[in-house]
Amino acid sequence: MIRSLRKGSSSVYFQHEHTGHSIGAEKYESELVGGKAILRFTLRPVSSGQRYDEEYLNNEPLEYLSIDDGRVIDGFARHVDVLKGDVESWEVHVISRGKALIFGVKPKNRIFGRRSVLDFQVLRADDKQA
């Protein structure tokens, strides 16, 4: 079951070991497959700097990513609630340059005043999802 979360654009923050950057994204979707919750979006860089950052994302390990778009966060949470706590794993699919970058992740919701931020820690092969 796939649900569209946002057709317009907003940015996503990507954190690598020594640097971080934001890249424009669009077509946010949520998908539930068995016990897996997937957040998918397509990168849409808006400047030469963001195109460079997209190249970096395609070639360097990612530590975590963050989304602060309330519409995306709320829509994803409502869609995942359909599983009633039966989520066994989480993934983020970043569509970049026509291919999917797939990250196993662990989500964490943070609140700053009235603003919500959804962080996804990228799991390594030896990490356990909880």
The predicted-structure confidence for 60-110, as pLDDT tens digits, reads as follows 999 999 999 999 999 999 999 887 778 999 999 999 999 999 999 999 988
The percentage of residues in the chain with a pLDDT greater than 90, rounded to a whole number, is 78
- 3-state SS, the chain, equals CEEEEECCCEEEEEECCCCEEEEEEEEEEEEEECCEEEEEEEECCCCHHHHHHHHHHHHCCCCEEEECCHHHHHHHHHHHHHHCCCCCEEEEEEEECCEEEEEEEEEEEEEECCEEEEEEEECCCCCCCC
Model confidence at 114, pLDDT cuts 50, 70, 90, reads confident
For residue 130, is it within any domain? no
What pLDDT was estimated at residue 62? 97
For residue 83, is it within any domain? yes
Model confidence at 21, pLDDT cuts 50, 70, 90, reads very high
What pLDDT was estimated at residue 124? 84
Asked if pLDDT for residue 128 goes beyond 50, the answer is: no
Number of domains in the chain: 1
Tokens read off for 124 = 């390594």
Instruction: Look up the domain containing 62 and give its range.
Output: 2-122
What pLDDT was estimated at residue 104? 97
For residue 71, is it within any domain? yes
For residue 108, is it within any domain? yes
What pLDDT was estimated at residue 1? 79
What pLDDT was estimated at residue 11? 95
